[in-house]
Structure 1
C-alpha cells in the first residue's frame, strides 16, 4: 500500500503493524545495516547495563561503609550509559525515519546516504528532544509531588488523601507519561520530515494526534509493555537467575531476548513513521512529494527543483 494513500486513515492497528513490517523488504540491505550498527547496540545496552550495575549495587548493599568508590563507579557508568542510550536512540530514529521517507518519495536508498544525512537530522532531533525533556522534567516534578502526598497519606492514615493521590499518580503514570511519549515519537518524525523542530515540532505533533490519541496511546503503551516484559525476563533469568539457571542457559536466553528487543525496537521505529502518515491522512493534510524529496535531499547537500505537487488525497492506494 502507498504510504501516501488517503486510505491510510482507515487502517486498523493490525494493518499499521503489517504495513510497518513490510517496509524493510523494499530495501533489506539498508535496514539490515541500520539494525546491525544502530538498533542492535541500543537494544544490547538497554538490557546488558543491568549486568554491570547489579554487582555494584550488591556491593553497596553489603558494604555501605566503604561505598564511596562504588558510588563513583555507579555514577560514572550511569552517566556514560545515558549518553550512549540517548545518542543511539536519536541515531536510530533519524536513520529509520529518513530511510522510510526516502522509499516513499522513490529516492535512491542506501546505507551510505542514510549515514550521510544523519548529522543534519540529528541536530533537529536533539533540539526537539530538549523540548520534550523540559516537558518530562515538569511532569516528573508533578509526579514526585503526588508521590510525596501519597506517602503523607499513608503516614497520617488519611483515607481520602490516599485515594486521591493514588488515582492521580496512576493517571499521571499511565495516561500522561504515555501521551508525552506518543507526542515525542511523533514530534521526532515531524522534525525529520518537515521544516520544523523543537517546540514547533511538538506543537505540530499535538495537532496531528487530535482524533488519533486513542490509537497513539495503544501503540505506545503496547511498545512500552512489551519492552517492560523483555526487561523483566532478562532481569529475573539472566541477571538474578544464577542460582536457578546454568551459565549456558542464561547466555542463550540473554541472546534471545536481545534479539527480540532488536526486532521490537525496529518495528517500533517503523510504526512511528507509518503512524505519522496515518495522522496526516486522517487530517486530510496534503503531502507534496516533490517538496519532501527536496527536503530530504537538503540533508545530503542536494537540490532537486520542485516540478510537481502531489497531494495525499489524490494518490491511489
Structure 2
C-alpha cells in the first residue's frame, strides 16, 4: 500500500515538473516574441519547446542539486545545534534557536526558489543553462533588488545616465566627462 502511494506520488511529480518546464519555455518564448514585436503563432511556440527542453532539464537538475545541498546543510546545522545544546539546556532556549534556524532556512529557500524561476527564464532566452544560468539569475536578482530599493526610497533613476553606464560595460560607448572634452577656439 505504501509503495504504490510513493510510486503514484513520484509519477505525479514527474508529470508535474515536465508540464511545468514545457509551459515555462512556451510562456517565456511567447513573452519574448511579444516584447520584440515578432509574429507569434501556436506552431512557432510549440516548435521552440523541444529545442529548449534539454537546457531547461539541465537547469532544473542543477537547481535540484542546489536544493538538496541546501537541505542537507540545514539538517547538519540542526543536528549540530541539537548535539551542542545537550539535554541540560532549557526548552525555551532550544525553541529560540530552532525558530532562528527556521527563519534563516525559509529566507534561503525563498531565495533559491527565485533563483530557480529566473534561471529557467534565462535558460530559454540566453545561451546559458545549468549552474551558469543560476549564477546569471542570481546577479539579475541583485539588479532588480537595487531598483526596487531606489524606488522604495523615492530616488530618481536617471535613465540616460543609466543607459550610458550600461553601454560602457559593453565597450560600445564610453561617455565623456566635462574634463575630457576640450573645445578649440577659432578666430573668425
> Does TM, normalized by the shorter one, top 0.5?
yes
Tell me the TM-score normalized by structure 1.
0.43
- The CA deviation at 1:154 is 9.0
2:101 aligned with 1:168: yes
- How many residue pairs align between the two structures? 151
Q: Provide, for residues 182-215 of structure 1, a one-character-per-residue CA deviation record: whole Å limited to 9, x for no partner.
A: 1111111111111111111111111111143488
- The CA deviation at 1:130 is 1.1
Which residues in structure 2 correspond to 1:1-317 (within 5 Å)? Answer: 70-148=1-79, 156=87, 158-159=89-90, 160-173=93-106, 175-213=107-145, 285=166
In 1: Cα distance, 2:73 partner to 2:99 partner: 13
Root mean square deviation, CA, Å: 2.7
Distance 1:114 1:184, change over 3 A: same
In 1: Cα distance, 2:17 partner to 2:35 partner: 27
Tell me the TM-score normalized by structure 2.
0.70
Give the conservation status (yes or no) of the 8 Å contact 1:97–1:192. yes
Give the conservation status (yes or no) of the 8 Å contact 1:150–1:166. no
Residue 204 of structure 1: SS of its match in structure 2?
Answer: helix
Give the conservation status (yes or no) of the 8 Å contact 1:146–1:169. no
Structure of higher CA gyration radius: 2
In 2: Cα distance, 1:147 partner to 1:208 partner: 31
Stretches of structure 1 lacking an aligned partner (at least 5 in a row): 1-69, 217-280, 287-317
Give the conservation status (yes or no) of the 8 Å contact 1:153–1:162. no
1:315 is matched with which residue? none
